[in-house]
Amino acid sequence: MATLEQFKQVRASVSPEIETELYGLVIQDLDAAVQRIIGIASENGVSFTADEVRSYLREMDAEDEFDDIELDVATLEAVSGGQGTDEGC
């Protein structure tokens, strides 16, 4: 069974751009984000179940560990319900 510490190590191994991408996926499509995280972990020699990833995300969110992530414009628009620039806003 994987641990939260291993999950945090996998998180630390990704670039800020990938981290932003993952955070955006979590907001927009949790299942896709979970699968992407499982894939990244596998590339790093760690195996997580979908339930473990969801549990670790909840725990880290409760500890405000995602407050330092900067969102890109597309993610911010999706979160706020805004329209993209190519949609004539």
> Which residue is associated with the tokens 């299942």?
31
Give the H/E segment covering residue 71: none
Please, which residues have CB within 8 angstroms of residue 11's CB and are 6 or more apart in sequence? Answer: 19
pTM for the whole structure? 0.71
d(CA 55, CA 51): 6
| DSSP state, residue 89 | -
How many angstroms from the chain centroid is the CA of residue 39? Answer: 12
Q: Which residue has the higher pLDDT, 62 or 44?
A: 44
5: confidence class by pLDDT, cuts 50, 70, 90:
very high
